[in-house]
Amino acid sequence: MLPEPVAVRLGRAVADIAWKRRGKAVRRLESNYARVLPDATPERLAELSRAGMRSYLRYWMESFRLPVWSEERIRNGFEPEGQEHLREALASGRGVVAALPHLGNWDLAGAWATTALGIPFTTVAERLKPEKLFDRFVAYREGLGMEVLPHTGGAAFGTLARRLRGGGLVCLVAERDLSATGVEVDFFGDTTRMPAGPALLAQHTGAVLLPVTLWYDESPVMRGRIHPPVEVPASGTRAEKTSVMTQALADAFATGIADHPEDWHMLQRLWLADLEPRPAPAGGERPAEAAGGEPVSGPRDEPARPGERDEPVRPGERS
């Protein structure tokens, strides 16, 4: 509801205040940037974290304003390279899985797809509590032309597969999955886990798997790159193929993040070396969470300090 220049200045002011407070999220952001740029000085990391917080608040400012942007503004608000990869994949009728890291503003990229290309797409969101908050985020994203599925075990995977077999577009934020079902990959020289879902969907349905990276420059227009397709290996077990494909996604994500680290909004732990072991619950069983209903295990983030919120994710999305 504010004039846009005021909203921009407000977002930047909030970002700078958060950065100066040096809370848990800012410290984690700097730690993650140190993985991306291991030779960076403390001064350089501080500069990056300040720019990163400004980029993060730009994401929020734009996202809240997207429902009142005109279609022309949305069409002109995103200029991705490599559009031919997306157009060719959609024209093939095989369906497309677009996999993105937490770079730039994926809500804007999605709104661009539904507006500029006229293509609805499907994504998955973690259920939030209170339920009203989840419902509001679903309504917001559906208002932008997205179909939002709650993450409820294997049910979401089956619906995504049906959309892809019908030639549809599925978009998934896909560089963080710290459950036991995540696929271990090398990422900036150390090990983390990323979701198996994008690679499995491509294998199950024959869909084209496209990595996508996003970034900001000094203009009001967000930039991006639609990378060449990740091919399904000709041989190997399903697990081996999934591992190879997920590593290819990680490599594409790393390219985009290394080029534009300040637009990578990873305010949480990511690498396994940074995590503490998850204690086993009584009875040795873990809840089904991942697609297909596999049990969850493995590392987790440590609790927030007293009086301090845990590291944030973007509401309404699966991390």
Q: Is 168 left (phi over 0), alpha (psi -120 to 50) or beta?
A: beta
Distance in Å from the first CA to the final CA of the chain = 30
For this structure, is 175 an active site residue?
A: yes
Report whether 199 contacts 242 (CB < 8 A): yes
Nearest to 54 by CA among 87, 24, 26, 89: 26
Nearest to 172 by CA among 190, 138, 155, 196: 196
Per DSSP, the three-state class of 147 is strand
Tell me if the bond preceding 130 is cis, omega within 30° of 0: yes
Catalytic position from the list 85, 102, 227, 265: 102
Number of residues written out for the chain? 319
Q: What is the DSSP letter of 292?
A: T
Neighbours of 275 (CB within 10 A): 17
Question: What is the C-alpha to C-alpha distance for residues 227 and 212, in angstroms, rounded to an integer?
Answer: 6
Report whether 15 contacts 57 (CB < 8 A): yes
For this structure, is 79 an active site residue?
A: no
Catalytic position from the list 147, 175, 262, 317: 175
As annotated, the active-site residues are: 102, 175
